[in-house]
A and B are shown apart, each in its own frame.
Chain A
Amino acid sequence: MTPAAAPDAPLLQVGAITKTFGGFTALDNISVDIRKGERFGLIGPNGSGKTTLINCISGALRPQTGNVIFCGEDITQLPPHLRARRGIARSFQIPRPFKSMTVLENLMVGLDFAKVDSSLPEEDVAMSILTRMGLASKASAPTGTLSQVELRKMELARAMAVRPKLLISDEAMAGLSSSEVDEVLDLLISLGEEDITIIMIEHIMQAVMRFSERVMCLDAGKIIAIGAPAEVMGNKRVQEAYLGT
């Protein structure tokens, strides 16, 4: 019996993580549990440690102290590709497509390496994800020809190819028009409806409010508020962090 079998156990437990870069403390003793199926919003001013936190969760960085437990397993020391295979996928703040490949081939990387059993041929699975994301017509397009919103969607599609349990979206809506924001947001919400837990980092407040069941606000590497979206937005310290005192 693994602890993951307990029905109420959180999907992801971040336990007292501290990450410093030289003398700078990017994350200071952060602990948070993410429930299975939750839509979790992560906000905070620039440089508050949001991306550092998800880098520690996805494995791009290792914290100095603390641990990360996913599905009951301590994954603190695992490299990113093993975390991806266990079901943690992410998009990047600045899109990082495999630029020598077509959109479909980008997804094939995830399908090839994440080792998901499937009776369907990989290309059919990739196409169904692209259709889902509204990118089917771009399947054989090189990534260099995609627009900003298409690139964002492709990053999410590639993350979906790993068949994640936990999807981390790092500012997938930055730089998009408001109709495009709604488009991407609808996609994320619909993914949340099929049992994928989602952590969304975002600066666009309407999007955060509409998306999140729970919001956490970081400032200077510390959690300053966590709870229901309206509650966090109303928090005085959160407003100070964003607007200055």
Chain B
Amino acid sequence: MTKHRNSIVFWAGAAVFLIAVLSMTQIVRNEYPFFAGYVILQFIALAVAWSILGGYAGYVNFGTNAFFGVGVYTAVALFKATGAPLVVQIAAAAVVGMTLGFGVGLLTLRMRGIFFSIATIALAIIIETFVMNWRFVGGAAGIQIQRPPVMAPFDSYVKMLFFVQALLVVIAVSIARYIQNSRIGRGLQALRDDELAAECTGVPTLKLKLVACMISGALISAAGAPAAMYLQYADPSSAFNLSYSVSALAMALIGGTAHWIGPVLGAILLGSTQQLLAVTISSEVNVLVLGIMLVLFVVGAPKGIIGLLRPRYRLRAGGKP
């Protein structure tokens, strides 16, 4: 019963959020809030997507930048080859990200702990090298993108991208929430705690890890797909920048990974702090702030913001109640 009511509250919240975003694009004239807001929304989507494998399953993926860059370049290649509309670019990026997640998962998910993390770092480097040598999408020099005309009801492309990214956030969050409340979530939690015990209790651990890796990969690539249109430019070293991995991981951990709301809170907190600092002080201070906050949280609140807010989640995340 309460589960049913929770669902209603959740979907109502999602609808209110999207309506608010849409009305904002119609009312606010200044483009800057959308330009900055897009980045925050993008990080929410990344942190939530990351936490499906990194949080629920406990497999720390350092390859967020690989999936992100693959999303960017799927969109770029598709747009250059066929002029496909944005929605097709995003869908294609999700499919490619999911396929990559499957392949990578099959190769690496038998490794545990630090070995898995290192393998995911290597993945990003390999793909980046490939893209650098791919002339069609500009190679190492990057590529300029000419945005197509914007669609109604939006009056600027950035506003439209802001709405699209909000939609991707809602999709990522609802998938993360579904997983958390389903059998899959319980299985992932079990295998995170103890993989052998989970197997012996009937949990198909390899299959669940693969599913988590595919969903996480698809969502990260989808969130990355609009980035080329946003910047009107793409180049390998920014599309595959390791800072995407560090940020997604830091945001998820600072927010807390036992509940989908954790990465959302972490991304809002860190993302907006970064945007604020980038304007008021300098964009270089961002990284410093990220580092300091991560240290503070690791020491002071190892279960993240939600661990501070609700003792219940401190327990779920593995600590003493």
Q: Is the beta-carbon distance between A98 and B189 smaller than 8 angstroms?
A: yes
Query: B284 — which chain A residues lie within 8 A by C-beta?
Result: none
- Could you write out 6 A-B pairs with CB less than 8 Å apart? A59-B200, A81-B200, A98-B197, A110-B201, A142-B315, A142-B321
Additional pairs, 4, CB under 8 Å, beyond known A96-B197, A113-B201: A81-B198, A100-B317, A101-B193, A109-B203
In the bound complex, CA of A89 to CA of B318 (Å)? 25
Interface residues of B in 178-223 (CB under 8 A from A): 183, 186-187, 189-190, 192-194, 196-206
Q: Would you call the interface of chain B mostly helix, strand, loop, or mixed? A: helix
Say yes or no: A109-B318 contact (C-beta < 8 A), given A80-B196, A98-B190, A100-B189. Answer: no
Closest to A60 in B: B196
Q: Is the beta-carbon distance between B200 and A109 smaller than 8 angstroms?
A: no
Query: B202 — which chain A residues lie within 8 A by C-beta?
Result: 81, 84-85, 109-110, 113-115, 162
Say yes or no: A109-B198 contact (C-beta < 8 A), given A81-B204, A81-B205, A100-B317. Answer: yes
Q: Number of contacts between A and B (CB, 8 Å)?
A: 93
Say yes or no: A109-B190 contact (C-beta < 8 A), given A100-B317, A142-B321, A144-B320. Answer: yes
In the bound complex, CA of A85 to CA of B199 (Å)? 10
Task: Report which A residues bind B (CB closer than 8 A).
Answer: 58-60, 79-82, 84-85, 89-90, 92, 96-102, 105, 108-110, 112-115, 142, 144-145, 158-159, 161-162
Query: A105 — which chain B residues lie within 8 A by C-beta?
Result: 186
Q: Is the beta-carbon distance between A98 and B193 smaller than 8 angstroms?
A: yes
In the bound complex, CA of A102 to CA of B194 (Å)? 14
Q: Is the beta-carbon distance between B200 and A90 smaller than 8 angstroms?
A: yes
Query: B321 — which chain A residues lie within 8 A by C-beta?
Result: 142, 144-145
Q: How many residues of B contact A (CB 8 A)?
A: 26
Say yes or no: A112-B186 contact (C-beta < 8 A), given A100-B316, A142-B321. Answer: yes
In the bound complex, CA of A85 to CA of B194 (Å)? 18
Query: A142 — which chain B residues lie within 8 A by C-beta?
Result: 315, 320-321
Q: Is the beta-carbon distance between A98 and B194 smaller than 8 angstroms?
A: yes
Q: Is the beta-carbon distance between B199 and A92 smaller than 8 angstroms?
A: no
Query: A115 — which chain B residues lie within 8 A by C-beta?
Result: 202
Q: How far is the CB of B186 from chain A (nearest CB, A)?
A: 6
Query: A97 — which chain B residues lie within 8 A by C-beta?
Result: 193-194, 197
Q: Mark B245-275, 1 if CB is under 8 A from A, else 0.
A: 0000000000000100000000000000000
Q: How far is the CB of A5 from chain B (nearest CB, A)?
A: 25
Closest to A108 in B: B186
Contact pick for A84, options B190, B200, B318, B320, CB 8 Å: B200
Q: Is the beta-carbon distance between B201 and A100 smaller than 8 angstroms?
A: no
